[in-house]
Amino acid sequence: MTKKLLFVCLGNICRSPAAEGIMKHLVQEAGLGQEIFCDSAGTSNYHIGELPDSRMMMMARQRGIHLESQARQLHPEDLEKFDLILAMDKDNLADICRLDPHQKYQDKIKLMCDYCQTSDLQEVPDPYYGGKHGFELVLDLLTDACQGLLNSLSVKK
């Protein structure tokens, strides 16, 4: 059975598409492409249909990661469709939880940084208004968290 992962940030143009791209890359490297499906979404409707931020795409590409998703907004049905919903920060987490007023899906909504292996940050900072260092930090943090997430999944090759 395929595990379905959804990465969520505010606009779905920086952090969540980067997490999706990194996870897809790690999944392919592990030969688990048939076992794990990845997608991303934003809690807002600011950037629907847009490609990831060009700065994030460029910096990810320098690491061999290709970001190909188009921004979309998170919908209530996503809570049922996906096995794990990973919020980039606590505001995103709260927005996701608001779509689940009866708390039916709370056990599958997590913070991305819960899976970090080396970083002690609790949230993935939004690099949108920052410089190159902010994007590098986010990519490092997401790589750490995605590797931890992959290690935690009970998928066998």
Does residue 15 have an active-site annotation? yes
Does residue 38 have an active-site annotation? no
**For 43-94, how does the pLDDT look when each residue is reduced to its tens digit (9 = 90+)?**
999 999 999 999 999 999 999 999 999 999 999 999 999 999 999 999 999 9
Residues 103-122: what's their mean pLDDT?
97
Record the pTM: 0.96
With cut-offs at 50, 70 and 90, classify the pLDDT of residue 154.
Answer: low
Q: What is the 3-state secondary structure (H, E, C) of the chain?
A: CCEEEEEEECCCCCHHHHHHHHHHHHHHHCCCCCCEEEEEEECCCCCCCCCCCHHHHHHHHCCCCCCCCCCCECCHHHHHHCCEEEECCHHHHHHHHHCCCCCCCHHHEEEHHHHCCCCCCCCCCCCCCCCHHHHHHHHHHHHHHHHHHHHHCCCCC
Query: Which is catalytic among the residues 39, 53, 89, 126?
Result: 126
Does residue 126 have an active-site annotation? yes
Query: Which is catalytic among the residues 15, 78, 89, 144?
Result: 15
